[in-house]
Amino acid sequence: MAEAFKFELVSPERLLVSEQVEHVVIPGAEGEMTVLANHSPVMTTVKPGVVTVKSAGGGEERYVVFGGFADILPEGCTLLAESAVRVAEIDRDDLARRIQEAREDAADAKSDEERTRAEAFLAQLATLQDAV
């Protein structure tokens, strides 16, 4: 059995998870990463995606996050999400609304840089929609 560590998932609205876990899979900006106990210290931005949490008791939960950052230390991991919700509770209408807003942002972009950022965010949301 893998060594457990403390994981917390926090959104502005509430604390979603605060428990001992075996591992967490995070959609980091540089790619998906698995966090285990005694992980090297890392701070990373989090892109929209699904966070998978395997609890020390063996259960597994999935959460949709819309950006944020993760602070990873050997003794634990804290993910501060801009917005987060359990996959089982995902509001597909809200996700569709966010996709429409991202399309509008891309269309209304004033510069190539803004357009590129908006299109990247739109692609992440579309991938997320396929995942849930």
Nearest to 129 by CA among 101, 103, 93: 93
pLDDT at 1: 60
pLDDT at 48: 85
Q: Hey, which bits of 1-111 come out as E strands?
A: 5-10, 15-28, 31-36, 42-46, 49-55, 60-65, 68-73, 76-81, 84-86
Give 51-70 pLDDT, tens digit per residue.
Answer: 999 999 889 999 989 889 99
Residue type, 76: G
Domains of the chain from N-terminus onward? 5-88 (2.60.15.10), 91-131 (no CATH)
Low-confidence ranges of the chain (pLDDT < 70): 1, 131-132
State pTM to two decimals.
0.77
Q: How far is CA 6 from CA 68, 75, 90, in A?
A: 19, 7, 25
pLDDT at 83: 86
pLDDT at 104: 93
